């Protein structure tokens, strides 16, 4: 009996402490409720995609620091943007749970995220149910903006456009260099993102007259990719199209080099291939690999060099296309909040839908204006293709396509040398 | 046919490395009767130790074993001594202490997030080491050199640990404790010290596995998770607590993963591995090499 009482007392103390903590934590927020816009961000901050998640976080923080330093949201009395981060660990169920928590407990006004298409897809449904606007900087799966949702706005190009441009690039390069490309192999991570790409590749390959010699999904948690590489080697394709997360992109690139598999062109699809640590970890093996991205550090926009500089100072590495999307997303949001002049989710949503942003720091993007179509897709998002090569300054990513945006003085190596 | 042979050899090589990653788990379970959920994290720590040892000193990756194994032994020894032992003592009347399992899960999270904080989320891989990308080529077959040495190291490690358990005084004490911890204590064996040593050995094996993986795999904070689940399947296949079972279980998984994709999509091999896992649980719950009777 005595023991039970002691236990009861202990529980009481616990409850009291938690209540106190809760009051302390809740207090400042409630006092300053009209001075703060809470933005909930769901990102893979740990787990297999932690690297990109952290980049997205750094890019967002950079934009928000600038916005807040410039006086916050003026139409809301100089309200500051407060970032609330939640970790999805790249798991859909985690993303959904965190969205519920951010909306119900943290009372966020807007959500952003989640990088992994597989996480974003179910998570946007939560936001839609509560009517909370959801800005998607990077998840590219088509279906995210094709659910008929009213609250979803995507900055990045959707995967239909990525695959379309990959094939347009192949066609243009084949013509430019007089290379015959007949066979193509698809190798992709076994998630929403990879499968979405593969489906469209299939249609495009048929349309463009390519012969598909391999169509291979692989688990992105694979610890050994040599069986997959063996399959690629035996299929001997002219072109190898990839969708990979970072860890598997590195493993795949290294294993391809080990088995001396040398297709005429290897084309990645952003994601793992665009991760700054990909270049470092795969190093020489990544030479001549092509990758499709929305943005590159050599984009010909006047504010880009200064942006590169401040991004590198804050985050310690070069910005990648996905970081730029995250950065731009924050400015799109700030612009919408400015016009909404209200924290009502509906007002913010309507303001987002009416976005026509063509000035300010958001214009580091490679295109000239951000506008959403009826589905919430950024109409103007454009893509370019880069090649990893060394122009005397170590391996770097050099824009090669479209030809009008090609890195000055660079001739793409196409097809890749066979030795 | 040549393809199948090539894939089978690759499967055996990588499979024995999987077996090596799971061996620490099986040693710790055999003695402590506790599933160590922090096992993948210990492997991750081992990979980081190997990575930094090679990167900072520029030594040959396998020479780093001389550093990695003792460092990891001490790491495991004190992890058990300082963090797990107190819980063990609190639960000493329970045969399979559940709380200890929960503590190892805690250790897993702490280690993974600690390495995320300390090393950052970047993927690292050893550059310019004498093993990177080296292949044996003969008769149209290509085999990875670091995987081949991994296979050899796995065999040597298994034989070494087996010999240690069979022939040395400490090994006998460990086996006695794993058979019956009360009787062993009555015979004057300090069971908590045995646990420390067993945990140390488990960690040292993880370190060896880490050093074997580093020349051809990436290192990042959550890398252990990939090998964790695989490790559990392997030890259950081979029989929890059995050293050779772990090696064999690993090779079976490696063979399925390596030969399977030539006949189907690579993602299906995972399904086959899990299906086999279930079949073994139904037909021979103690695993292929496990003891039928539990003491």
Sign of CA dihedral B156, B161, B163, B168: positive
Instruction: Please give the pLDDT value at position A54.
Output: 92
CB A99 within 8 A of CB A42: yes
Within 8 A of A395 by CB-CB distance, chain B residues are: none
* Most A-contacting residue of B218, B250, B263 (CB-CB within 10 A), to test interface: B218
- Could you give the number of structural domains in chain B? 1
A231 touches chain B (CB under 8 A): yes
**Interface confidence (ipTM) of the complex:** 0.87
Question: Is residue A57 predicted with pLDDT exceeding 90?
Answer: yes
Reference B227, options B75, B103, B108, B138; nearest CA is: B108
A134 forms beta bridges with A111, A152
Question: Is residue A13 predicted with pLDDT exceeding 70?
Answer: no
What would the mean pLDDT of A357-362 be, rounded to a whole number? 90
Chain A's closest residue to B115, CA to CA, is A46
| Domain regions of chain A by residue span | 32-156+303-371, 160-293+383-405
How large is the C-alpha radius of gyration of chain A?
23
Q: Which residue has the higher pLDDT, A26 or B218?
A: B218
The Cα–Cα gap between B13 and B149 comes to 9
Q: Do A258 and B133 touch (CB under 8 A)?
A: yes
Cα distance from A302 to chain B (closest Cα, Å)?
A: 30
- Give the Å distances, CA to CA, from A10 to A2, A15, A20, B232: 12, 9, 15, 38
Instruction: Please give the pLDDT value at position A55.
Output: 92
What would the mean pLDDT of A237-263 be, rounded to a whole number? 93
pLDDT in tens, A86-98: 999 999 999 999 9
DSSP string, B227-275: HHHHHHHHHHHH-TT-HHHHHHHHHHHHHHHHHGGGTS-HHHHHHHHHH
The Cα–Cα gap between A86 and A60 comes to 13
pLDDT in tens, B248-257: 999 999 999 9
Instruction: Please give the pLDDT value at position A221.
Output: 84
The Cα–Cα gap between B190 and B173 comes to 9
DSSP string, A88-153: -TT-HHHHHHHHHHHHHTS--SEEEE-SSHHHHHHHHHHHHHHT--EEESS---GGGG-S--SSEE
With bands split at pLDDT 50, 70 and 90, how would you rate the model's confidence at A135? very high
B55 touches chain A (CB under 8 A): no
Answer yes or no: is B10 within a domain.
Answer: yes
A47 touches chain B (CB under 8 A): yes
The Cα–Cα gap between A187 and A243 comes to 7
Sign of CA dihedral B32, B34, B39, B42: negative
Instruction: Please give the pLDDT value at position B134.
Output: 84
Superfamily of domain covering A32-156+303-371: Response regulator (3.40.50.2300)
Chain A's closest residue to B268, CA to CA, is A218
Answer yes or no: is B291 within a domain.
Answer: no
* CATH code for the domain of B275: 1.10.3470
With bands split at pLDDT 50, 70 and 90, how would you rate the model's confidence at B292? low
CB B230 within 8 A of CB B18: yes
Stated length of chain B: 295
CB B176 within 8 A of CB B183: yes
With bands split at pLDDT 50, 70 and 90, how would you rate the model's confidence at A280? confident
A342 touches chain B (CB under 8 A): no
CB A153 within 8 A of CB A135: yes
The SS3 of residue A43 is strand
* Most A-contacting residue of B4, B21, B121, B222 (CB-CB within 10 A), to test interface: B121
Question: Is residue A197 predicted with pLDDT exceeding 50?
Answer: yes
Return the ∠ at Cα B20 (arms to B29 and B157), rounded to 5°: 95
The SS3 of residue A27 is helix
Reference A113, options A153, A79, A81; nearest CA is: A153
Question: Is residue A240 predicted with pLDDT exceeding 90?
Answer: yes
Instruction: Please give the pLDDT value at position A59.
Output: 95
Question: Is residue A28 predicted with pLDDT exceeding 90?
Answer: no
Question: Is residue A334 predicted with pLDDT exceeding 50?
Answer: yes
Chain A's closest residue to B7, CA to CA, is A227
Question: Is residue A342 predicted with pLDDT exceeding 50?
Answer: yes
Q: Do A50 and B257 touch (CB under 8 A)?
A: no
With bands split at pLDDT 50, 70 and 90, how would you rate the model's confidence at B172? very high
What would the mean pLDDT of B40-65 be, rounded to a whole number? 92
Instruction: Please give the pLDDT value at position A11.
Output: 55
With bands split at pLDDT 50, 70 and 90, how would you rate the model's confidence at A48? confident
Question: Is residue A212 predicted with pLDDT exceeding 50?
Answer: yes
**Architecture of the domain delimited by A160-293+383-405:** 3-Layer(aba) Sandwich (3.40)
Instruction: Please give the pLDDT value at position A7.
Output: 52
Token pair listed for A149? 């949702």
- pLDDT > 70 fraction of chain A, expressed in percent and rounded: 92
Instruction: Please give the pLDDT value at position A199.
Output: 92
Question: Is residue A30 predicted with pLDDT exceeding 70?
Answer: no
Reference B220, options A188, A246, A327, A211; nearest CA is: A246
Residue A304: phi, psi to the nearest 5? Answer: -65, -45
Instruction: Please give the pLDDT value at position A10.
Output: 56
The residue range of the domain holding B131 is 2-283
pLDDT in tens, A360-405: 898 988 888 899 999 999 998 888 899 999 988 888 899 898 887 7
Query: Does the bond joining A226 to the residue before it have cis omega, within 30 degrees of 0?
Result: no
Average pLDDT, chain A: 88
CB A361 within 8 A of CB A66: yes
Determine the angle formed by the axes of helices B145-167 and B2-32, rounding to 10 degrees: 30
The Cα–Cα gap between B177 and B27 comes to 12
Question: Is residue A26 predicted with pLDDT exceeding 50?
Answer: no
User: Residues with Cβ < 8 Å from B234, sequence gap 6 or more?
Assistant: B18, B19, B22, B246, B249, B250, B253
Q: Which residues of A78-93 are buried (b: 16+ CB within 10 A; e: fewer)?
A: ebbbbbbbbbbbbbbe
Token pair listed for A37? 């816009």
Answer yes or no: is B41 within a domain.
Answer: yes
User: Residues with Cβ < 8 Å from A413, sequence gap 6 or more?
Assistant: A288, A387, A389
Question: Is residue A56 predicted with pLDDT exceeding 90?
Answer: yes
Instruction: Please give the pLDDT value at position A5.
Output: 47
Cα A152 to the center of its chain, rounded Å: 15
Of B6, B10, B123, the CB nearest to A277: B123
Reference B71, options B91, B108, B89, B46; nearest CA is: B46
Q: Which residues of B24-49 are buried (b: 16+ CB within 10 A; e: fewer)?
A: bbbbbbbbbbbbbbbbbbbbbbbbbb
- pLDDT > 70 fraction of chain B, expressed in percent and rounded: 98
CB A267 within 8 A of CB A166: yes
Q: Do A51 and B135 touch (CB under 8 A)?
A: no
Answer yes or no: is B8 within a domain.
Answer: yes
Sign of CA dihedral A130, A136, A141, A142: positive
Instruction: Please give the pLDDT value at position A191.
Output: 85
- Give the Å distances, CA to CA, from B101 to A157, B88, B136: 46, 10, 43
Reference B40, options A261, A221, A230; nearest CA is: A221
User: Residues with Cβ < 8 Å from A86, sequence gap 6 or more?
Assistant: A40, A41, A42, A43, A98, A99, A101, A102
Question: Is residue A21 predicted with pLDDT exceeding 70?
Answer: no
A212 touches chain B (CB under 8 A): no
Reference A120, options A139, A142, A104; nearest CA is: A139
Instruction: Please give the pLDDT value at position A419.
Output: 61
Measure the CA dihedral B194/B195/B201/B203, to 10°: -160
Q: Do B6 and A230 touch (CB under 8 A)?
A: yes
What would the mean pLDDT of A195-224 be, rounded to a whole number? 92
Within 8 A of A285 by CB-CB distance, chain B residues are: 133
pLDDT in tens, B63-100: 999 999 999 999 999 999 999 989 888 877 776 678 88
Instruction: Please give the pLDDT value at position A16.
Output: 53
With bands split at pLDDT 50, 70 and 90, how would you rate the model's confidence at A15? low
């Amino acid at each position: 009996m005595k023991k039970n009482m002691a236990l009861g007392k202990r529980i009481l103390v616990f409850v009291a402490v938690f209540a106190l903590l809760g009051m302390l934590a809740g207090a400042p927020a409630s006092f300053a409720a009209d001075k703060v816009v809470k933005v909930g961000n769901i990102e893979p901050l740990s787990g297999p995609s932690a690297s990109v998640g952290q980049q997205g976080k750094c890019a967002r923080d950079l934009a928000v620091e600038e916005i807040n330093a410039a006086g916050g949201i003026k139409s809301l009395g100089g309200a500051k943007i407060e970032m609330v981060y939640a970790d999805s660990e790249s798991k859909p169920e985690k993303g959904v749970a965190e969205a519920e928590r951010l909306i119900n407990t943290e009372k966020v006004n807007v959500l952003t995220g989640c990088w992994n298409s597989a996480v974003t897809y179910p998570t946007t449904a939560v936001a839609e149910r509560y009517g909370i606007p959801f800005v998607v900087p990077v998840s590219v799966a088509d279906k995210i903006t094709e659910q008929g949702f009213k609250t979803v706005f995507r900055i990045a190009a959707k995967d239909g456009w990525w695959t379309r441009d990959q094939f347009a690039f192949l066609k243009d390069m084949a013509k430019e260099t007089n290379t015959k490309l007949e066979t193509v192999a698809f190798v992709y991570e076994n998630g929403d993102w990879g499968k979405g790409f593969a489906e469209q590749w299939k249609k495009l390959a048929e349309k463009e007259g390519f012969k598909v010699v391999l169509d291979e999904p692989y688990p992105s948690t694979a610890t050994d990719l040599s069986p997959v590489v063996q399959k690629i080697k035996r299929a001997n394709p002219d072109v190898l199209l990839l969708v990979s997360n970072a860890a598997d992109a590195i493993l795949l690139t290294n294993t391809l080099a080990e088995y001396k598999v040398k297709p005429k062109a290897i084309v990645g699809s952003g994601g793992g291939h665009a991760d700054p640590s990909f270049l470092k970890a795969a190093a020489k093996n990544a030479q001549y690999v092509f990758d499709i991205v929305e943005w590159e550090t050599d984009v010909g926009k006047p504010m880009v060099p200064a942006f590169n500089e401040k991004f590198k100072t804050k985050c310690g590495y070069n910005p990648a296309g996905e970081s730029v999307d995250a950065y731009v997303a924050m400015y799109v949001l700030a612009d919408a909040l400015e016009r909404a002049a209200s924290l009502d989710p509906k007002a913010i949503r309507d303001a987002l839908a009416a976005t026509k942003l063509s000035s300010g720091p958001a214009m580091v993007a490679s295109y000239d204006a951000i506008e959403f179509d009826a589905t919430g897709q950024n109409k103007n998002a454009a893509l370019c293709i880069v090649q990893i090569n060394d122009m005397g300054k170590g391996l770097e990513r050099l824009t090669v396509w479209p030809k009008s945006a090609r890195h000055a003085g660079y001739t793409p190596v196409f097809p890749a040398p066979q030795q | 046919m040549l393809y199948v042979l090539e894939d089978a050899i690759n499967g055996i090589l990588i499979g024995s490395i999987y077996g090596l990653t799971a061996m620490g788990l099986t040693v710790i379970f055999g003695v402590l009767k506790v599933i160590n959920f922090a096992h993948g994290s210990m492997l991750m720590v081992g990979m980081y130790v190997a990575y930094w040892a090679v990167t900072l000193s520029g030594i040959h990756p396998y020479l780093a074993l001389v550093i990695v194994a003792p460092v990891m032994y001490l790491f495991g020894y004190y992890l058990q001594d300082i963090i797990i032992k107190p819980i063990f003592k609190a639960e000493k009347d329970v045969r399979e202490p559940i709380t200890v399992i929960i503590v190892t899960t805690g250790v897993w999270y702490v280690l993974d997030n600690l390495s995320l904080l300390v090393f950052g989320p970047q993927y690292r891989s050893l550059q310019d080491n004498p093993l990177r990308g080296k292949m044996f080529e003969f008769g149209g077959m290509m085999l990875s050199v670091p995987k081949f040495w991994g296979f050899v190291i796995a065999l040597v490690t298994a034989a070494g640990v087996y010999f240690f358990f069979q022939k040395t005084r400490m090994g006998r004490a460990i086996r006695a404790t794993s058979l019956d911890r009360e009787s062993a204590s009555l015979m004057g064996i300090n069971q908590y010290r045995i646990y420390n040593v067993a945990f140390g050995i488990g960690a040292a094996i993880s370190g060896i596995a880490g050093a074997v993986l580093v020349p051809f795999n990436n290192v990042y904070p959550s890398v252990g998770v990939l090998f964790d689940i695989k490790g559990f399947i392997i030890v259950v296949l081979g029989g929890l607590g059995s050293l050779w079972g772990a090696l064999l279980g690993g090779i079976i998984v490696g063979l399925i993963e390596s030969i399977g994709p030539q006949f189907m999509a690579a993602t299906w091999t995972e399904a086959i591995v899990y299906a086999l896992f279930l079949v073994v649980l139904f037909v021979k719950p103690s695993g292929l090499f496990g003891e039928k009777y539990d003491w």
